[in-house]
Amino acid sequence: MQKQKLLLFGLLLFFAAPVAVYGQGKGLLRAVIVFGDSIVDAGNNNHLKTIIKCDFPPYGRDFNDKMPTGRFSNGKIINDILASVAGITDSIMAYLDPNLEDRDLLNGVTFASGGAGLDDLTSNVAKVVSLSGQVELFKEYKARLRRVAGEKKANDIITNAQYLLVMGSNDIWSSYFALGLRSKEYDIDSYTTFLVDKAAEFAKKIYDLGARRIGISGLPAIGCVPFVRSMAGGITRQCSDPHNEASEMFNSKLQKKIEPLTNSLDGALLMYLDVYNPLMDMIQNKEKYGFEEATLGCCGSGNVEVLFLCNNLSPLTCQDSKKYVFWDSFHPTEKAYRLLLNQTMGAFLPLLQ
């Protein structure tokens, strides 16, 4: 009970710290700045020479104007939902979007790139923006923000923004298991340690660049994602235990890293964000959340359709994505994202409305 009280207090402190009043938001947050992979990519990959793209239908069919934006879902993703709940803006734009205007910089941006990993090797193989590359874009963003808002206002926005890091799944399922790029030099224990250290290094880097409120997401139950079920779950498409065990190992190490890391960064508010358990609960108890399907994606057959395999010619695509936990064979639906945000960050959401 005492541990639960401390966790709740930490959540409230993390998200209720005083912030400067800028932008149009009426809540406590004034900007959302995001680093990561396809879960939080709002279209950066549209402007890269990579096959990891989704700027075509039926992606985005439930988004504004029902147009594909490069978000790997049917509608809004975590960044958009958080910013909307906080009263900041309806959606957070991709930093590489040529339509990004000066005023959009005040709300925050996402540097995330689908296919990226904490391990730069993962990103390089996918030909997307690595985590270190995203940090470089953040430096560029800071300079642009100063030109737009002035030194004082820009510094306040940078200091008081909410930062999110959502990354690591591609390292586990692709670089370690599917492609085996890292399994030759690491066992899963040493590789998850390597990845957690990369996450900690990232937090220190953006702290040095002005970030103070930093949320670091754990990994989901990778073994229960439809694609992984199809590839590694046998004829009955069960969840893959090795993938899930790797996620749990990473998450356990990351949680243990957060407290000493926070103590080493004066004035920082770091928080581990659990996505494993909430998403697993949706999968195992789908009816509780109003879902009808949790083992297949809405797009196509739901077994393997993702990226270019999920397109307007894909047969069997569902009519109502709200009945599905997953949109394609990797990524959740907007409804699942909303539920995930509520369960992961539910302690502070009422404060922002």
pLDDT one digit per residue (tens) for the chain, 353 residues: 444 433 443 444 444 433 322 233 334 668 999 999 999 999 999 999 999 999 999 999 999 889 999 999 999 999 999 999 888 999 999 999 999 999 999 999 999 999 999 999 999 999 999 999 999 999 999 999 999 999 999 999 999 899 999 999 999 999 999 999 999 999 999 999 999 999 999 999 999 999 999 999 999 999 999 999 999 999 999 999 999 999 999 999 999 999 999 999 999 989 999 999 999 999 999 999 999 999 999 999 999 999 999 999 988 999 999 999 999 999 999 999 999 998 887 655 554 44
Residue of 37, 38, 130, 247 marked catalytic:
38
139-165 burial, b at 16+ Cβ within 10 Å, e below that, comes to eebbeebbeebeeeebbbbbebbbbbb
Residue 38 among the catalytic residues: yes
Secondary structure of the chain in HEC code, one letter for each residue: CHHHHHHHHHHHHHHHCCCCCCCCCCCCCCCEEEEECCCCCCCHHHHCCCCCCCCCCCCCCCCHHHCCCCCCCCCCCHHHHHHHHCCCCCCCCECCCCCCCHHHHCCCCECCCCCCCCCHHHHHHHCCCCHHHHHHHHHHHHHHHHHHHCHHHHHHHHHHCEEEEECCHHHHHHHHHHCCCCCCCCCHHHHHHHHHHHHHHHHHHHHHCCCCEEEEECCCCHHHCHHHHHHHCCCCCCCCHHHHHHHHHHHHHHHHHHHHHHHHCCCCEEEEECCHHHHHHHHHCHHHHCCCEEEEECCCCCCCCCHHHCCCCCCCCCCCHHHEEECCCCCECHHHHHHHHHHHHCCCHHHHC
Residue 328 among the catalytic residues: yes
Q: Confirm whether pTM is higher than 0.85.
A: yes
Tokens, residue 257: 């890293």
- CB-facing half-sphere around the CA of 48: CA atoms within 13 A: 27
Query: Contact at 8 Å (CB) between 352 and 86?
Result: yes
How many C-beta neighbours within 10 Å does residue 277 have?
14
Q: What is the distance between the alpha carbons of residues 277 and 202, in angstroms, rounded to a whole number?
A: 24
Q: Is the peptide bond before 242 cis (omega within 30 degrees of 0)?
A: no
CATH level 3 topology of 2-277: Rossmann fold (3.40.50)
Residue of 73, 84, 328, 329 marked catalytic:
328
Residue with tokens 């509780």: 288
Residue of 156, 171, 240, 331 marked catalytic:
331
